[in-house]
Amino acid sequence: MGTVYAKSEDAPTNLPTLPPQEPHAAHPSHKPESKEIFLDGVKARVDKIHVDGLARTKDDIIEDCIRDLFKATDFQDVLLKAHRARLKLDELGCFKNIAVFIDTSKGTGASPDGLEVTFNVTEYKRVTGGVTTQVGNNEGALLVGLRAPNIFGRGERVQVEYSHGSKRTTNFNMAFIKPMRGKYRPIFTTSVFQSNAEWPVSGYKELDRGLLFDFGFHSTSLIKHNIQWEATIRDLGVLSRNTSFEVREQAGLSLKSSLRHIISIDLRDDLIFPSAGSLLQITSEAAGLGGDVGYLKNEFYVQGNYSIAEDFVLQGTLSGGYMRGLTNDMKIGMSDKYYLGGPLSLRGFRMRGVGPHSDGDALGSLAFWSSGLHLFTPLPFRPGRGGFGDLFKTHLFITAGNIGDFKISDQNFLETLAANVRISYGLGIALRLGNMARVEVNYCFPHTFERGDQTHPGIQFGIGVQFT
């Protein structure tokens, strides 16, 4: 077990032994036994930082994480910065456990207001693994994973994951992840993957094998960027003899090479049932740098949450996407297109039930928009308040959207977006499933729909992370 001792760079300057705003530090009006102390009034500086329990983690990345702690000038600052340092250490993904101890500085070279901060860390073993469950896209999956964290001592890790979903989806993914030093917290990921998915509602199955390079960084502390390059060989197969011929015509192999930029700003206070804050995601993708798939694609997702009374949250979402082909001899695959409908998007319709169909198989479109207005309230009479009952919420919603091959160059573009809008509403119960998914059971009423849409009035069950 190695230990890093980081010492304050500059020699201690003569600090006053007593905090100057003494009257604030101890409030006289309070009872003597419960003293309120203003921590920001207590002068303090960090003399020494110990990090115990380091074996293969390199010193430089640890120093980057804890350096800020030396800049603290009062005790509150020390606490905040220690907490932040702890978060940064946790973000490295090298430690199973991090404990922080703060003590007064003793021994030679100790300054009068000096403190010693000790981080007690436990590193991960060389190889860890596990079997977990994963939820997404109205599907539950079993995930078997093997990880080699922190292989070269600077947070690099290799992970191998295999998941098997309840809807015959299988995924295999092997990734090498390298966090880098710097104020934008850059992280580089390269992965090889194979995924297999069946889409009975569209009559096809697809086997993807590919490579993904991802470079993620934060331009400010809240704005996250990902720049990705993906090369995938995709094999689209016909699911059954009854599959529509238009889907059959798409069968075969295609090679997609695309560049993608994703921005996400997440200011929400909770992932599953936020009560305040908003989320914005913008994805731009250009496919066609090699390969035979070519398109330009832009999409966004906005979610806003407003607390109108205690535990009454109004949530509004809006998402949209627009794509167009590059040239006539480049393809757009079925999995690249947009679909609308289902328990995660436009409720009251079947999965991919809105938009063009051929013999019952959803064909997808080049543009869509969808929006939802939700009111989450506690259960009536609040059974199990403060405990189990808080996992459930009553859910009232109205969703609207439209899909089609809209063109921005079209003169009445906005009118075509608004024409043939599909609307549905309903109510139900939403449930928090751990901190990973939201489950919804709704009774839906499709209100406005077109001929050819597959409606699903009545009870609809949805499970996932991102809902419209």
Partner 1 sequence: MVLVDRIQIELGAQEPWPKDVKLFQPYEVEQILLPDNANCLAVQAFLKMCNLDFQVEPRANAEAMSPSGKVPFIKAGAFVISELEPIVQFINNKGITLTDKLDPEMKSDMRAYMSLVHNVMEVAELYICWCDKETYNEVTSVRYGSIYPWPLNHIQNRVKRASVIKKLKVLGWYQKSMSEVFEEVENCCQALTDRLEGKDFFFGDKPTELDALVFGHLFTILTTPLPNSHIANTVRNYPVLINLVQRIEKDYFKRETKH
Displacement of CA 71 from its chain's centroid (Å): 32
Q: Does 29 bind partner 1 (CB under 8 A)?
A: no
Looking only at residues 217 through 236 of this chain, which bind partner 1 when binding is defined by CB under 8 A?
233, 236
Structure tokens that stand for 65 in this block: 């994480």
Q: Which segment (42-50, 105-113, 211-219, 243-251) binds partner 1 by CB under 8 A? A: 243-251
Structure tokens that stand for 23 in this block: 């009257």
Quick note: the x/- pattern for partner 1 over 355-374, rule CB under 8 A, is: --------------------
Q: Comparing C-alpha atoms, which of 363, 308, 312 is closest to residue 341? A: 363
Q: Comparing C-alpha atoms, which of 220, 162, 212, 222 is closest to residue 190? A: 212
Q: Does 238 bind partner 1 (CB under 8 A)?
A: yes
Q: Does 384 bind partner 1 (CB under 8 A)?
A: no
- Alpha carbon distances (Å) from 182 to 65, 218, 293: 10, 10, 36
Helical residues (DSSP H) of 306-410, grouped into ranges = none
Q: Does 290 bind partner 1 (CB under 8 A)?
A: yes
**Which residue has 């709704």 as its token pair?**
442
Nearer to partner 1, 57 or 243 (CB): 243
Q: Which segment (47-55, 237-245, 261-269, 274-282) binds partner 1 by CB under 8 A? A: 237-245
The SS3 call for residue 153 is: coil
Helix or strand (DSSP H, E) at 418: helix 413-418
Q: Does 237 bind partner 1 (CB under 8 A)?
A: yes
Q: Does 255 bind partner 1 (CB under 8 A)?
A: yes
Among 9, 249, 310, 415, contact with partner 1 (rule: CB under 8 A): 249
# chain residues binding partner 1, by CB under 8 A: 16
Q: Does 253 bind partner 1 (CB under 8 A)?
A: yes
Q: Comparing C-alpha atoms, which of 202, 211, 214, 138 is closest to residue 169? A: 138
Q: How far is the CB of 254 from partner 1 (least distance, A)?
A: 8
Looking only at residues 389 through 448 of this chain, which bind partner 1 when binding is defined by CB under 8 A?
none
Among 241, 310, 387, 411, contact with partner 1 (rule: CB under 8 A): 241
Q: Which segment (272-280, 286-294, 295-303, 383-391) binds partner 1 by CB under 8 A? A: 286-294
Among 13, 14, 29, 240, contact with partner 1 (rule: CB under 8 A): 240
Q: Does 291 bind partner 1 (CB under 8 A)?
A: yes
Q: Is 136 exposed, middle or buried (0-12, 13-18, 19+ CB in 10 A)?
A: middle
- Alpha carbon distances (Å) from 101 to 5, 38, 116, 117, 120: 15, 20, 8, 6, 8
Q: How far is the CB of 248 from partner 1 (least distance, A)?
A: 5
Nearer to partner 1, 298 or 358 (CB): 358
End-to-end CA distance of the chain: 50
Q: Does 292 bind partner 1 (CB under 8 A)?
A: yes
- Alpha carbon distances (Å) from 248 to 169, 295, 354, 418: 21, 21, 20, 32
Nearer to partner 1, 292 or 311 (CB): 292
Query: Which spans of this chain sit near partner 1 (rule: CB under 8 A)?
Result: 233, 236-238, 240-241, 245, 248-249, 251-253, 255, 290-292
